[in-house]
Structure 1
């Protein structure tokens, strides 16, 4: 995966990191904020309270090679001087598909 495979969104929010953290971690708030699809499975990968949170994001979808697309969604929260939060969301695939016609030799187990 390269940095070009990731989608990155950044913005300032008029709420302290603690409030944004609650919106990202309390299921009822997360559901209202992100409105996740019913076919979406979220699982926490890493968490540093009020600072960063990474979910494994799995959804059934058209266009997915196996019918399931896995990615990592990371939220980074940085307090701003005015009491708000600088919010950064990075959505990146967990693994890039490998071409069936790649030219690398396959390693065989002994």
Structure 2
């Protein structure tokens, strides 16, 4: 990914936001859903219960790709009229501002 690319996935889930929230925040459920690989380090960056959650995502361990970038994974949950959840996942690289004398943005890399 470059500093302007983000992967976005959206769908409707047949579960209320509270149930989806539990799947994203209870470690045993999260492991089944998005973290089958133990070489991924996740840390909560921001959260608004039952609405949005952002994790920092970093490949770690012996098999990590040298120079792999950190990224942010954001989950947005919106209740639907039928009791389900509109689910939006955005996975984007972390960017940090360059020095004050530069007009460029740099990718934060491991």
Q: TM-score range by the shorter chain?
A: 0.7 to 0.9
- Number of residue-to-residue matches in the alignment: 94
CA deviation digits over 1:22-72, x for unaligned, max 9?
A: 00000000001113311100000000000000000001443x5x2x42000
Q: Secondary structure at the match of 1:24?
A: helix
Unaligned residue ranges in structure 2 (runs of 5+): 103-110
Per the alignment, residue 19 of structure 2 pairs with 19
Number of the residue aligned with 1:43: 43
Cα deviation, residue 15, structure 1: 0.1
Q: Structure 1 stretches of 5 or more lacking a match?
A: 99-103, 105-110
Pick the structure with greater CA Rg: 1
Q: Residue in 1 aligned with 2:71?
A: 71
TM-score, length-scaled by structure 2: 0.78
**In structure 2, what is the equivalent of residue 92 of structure 1?**
92
Considering only aligned residues, what root-mean-square deviation do their CA atoms show, in Å?
A: 2.0
TM-score by length of 1: 0.78
